[in-house]
Amino acid sequence: MKNVIITGGTGFIGKRLAESLRSELGKRARVLAIGSGDVDLTDRNATFSWFARTAADMDCDHLFHLAAVYKAGGWPVEHPATQFFSNTSINVNVLWAWTRFFPKAKLTSALSYCMYPPHDGAHPETELWGTEPEAYLYSYAMTKKALLVGQRACAQEYGSRCTSLVLPTVYGPGGGFEEDSHVMGALIGKFVRAKRLQAPSVEVWGSGSQQREFVFVDDAVNGFIAAAERSEELVQNLGTGSTHSVREIAETIKRVSGYTGQIQYNPDRFVGVSKRSLDSTLIRSSLGWEPRTSLLSGIDQSARWLTDQLDGGHAVDATLARSSSSPATPKHRR
């Protein structure tokens, strides 16, 4: 790996990936981590123009495609068309630009486990085909499926090299800790803020019985690098092999953060499916990838990072002050 482009490079995972690659590859390589301030990937002309200028200046051998428009909580239910148009445009434009300007580069993309059908078992990669995703995430899930189809088509017609990783919920320092973030980040933010404000209670959405799979951001980054360098599979689950209930997560965060108030579960709030997990057999056998960070360590690192940010008066303090009753605008992770 010598010259790398990362779409979504200013987002949570992309920023961490760029840092890791720069550290690992050193001065001998170039790592371009681009966001929406660099190029609007929903605009075909802008995307092609950026890729053409970049191709004239460097010979990219790896392209990581992480760019997407998405927001957690109930936002996907209210904005299915926004997700469809934005993400379809991003994916089509990036695939066209990749095959046109950097045909020899390998592409490694990020997919979501919301692509799988709603059931409580661990999902093998074979379930990506001939199944339907859950209704409330249908639009976003289908744009991710279309990305996978597009990669397979490019490999078949042009001989393009590509692979994808299906991610569970990724969390860690630098992630989203607003109340409308994914469950892990949202809960860490709630408990850290509640301790600072000496709030008497913290509301947790749902009964606490719903189960999710989580991967620490540094482990996800290691998986992306391993897949880019060594994977010959079209798609693999980056699964940890275990799920945790929201009740377990909440109790752990409460203990780690030092919060002493009460937890109030609200079963009337939106929680999504009852359980989501990935079958990680393929990635463990083909790449030998294993998560290195325990749940306790990951939560501790995340809570400490957020506390340090708030104690230092960084901008995240204003972000966390936003109420869940005033939903934020969608994040364009480009």
pTM: 0.90
Residue 182: pLDDT band with limits 50, 70, 90: confident
Select from 3.90.25.10, 3.40.50.2300, 2.40.50.180, 1.10.10.10 the CATH code of 171-213+242-275+294-327: 3.90.25.10
Query: What is the reported pLDDT for 313?
Result: 66
pLDDT tens across 33-53, in order? 999 999 999 999 999 999 999
Class in CATH terms, 3-169+215-237: alpha beta
pLDDT at residue 322 above 60?
no
Average pLDDT over every residue of 80-103: 96
* Overall average pLDDT of the 321-326 stretch: 33
Mean pLDDT of the region 292-317: 87
Give domain limits for the chain. 3-169+215-237, 171-213+242-275+294-327
Band (73; pLDDT cuts 50, 70, 90): low
DSSP letter string, 204-253: EES-S--EE-EEEHHHHHHHHHHHHHH---SEEE---S--EEHHHHHHHH
* The two structure tokens encoding residue 164: 């994808």
Closest-CA residue to 293 (of 217, 235, 183, 209): 217
Q: How many angstroms separate the Cα of 186 from the Cα of each of 178, 239, 303?
A: 5, 21, 11
Confidence of residue 103 (pLDDT cuts 50, 70, 90): very high
- What pLDDT sits at residue 264? 96
Check pLDDT > 90 for residue 323.
no
Q: Whole-angstrom Cα distance, residue 109 to residue 66?
A: 6
Handedness of CA 234, 83, 96, 227 (dihedral sign): negative
The band of 107, judged by pLDDT with boundaries at 50, 70 and 90, is very high
What pLDDT digit, counting tens, does each position of 245-269 carry?
A: 999 999 999 999 999 999 999 988 8
Average pLDDT, rounded, for the chain:
91
Tokens, residue 61: 């051998």
Determine the pLDDT at residue 135: 85
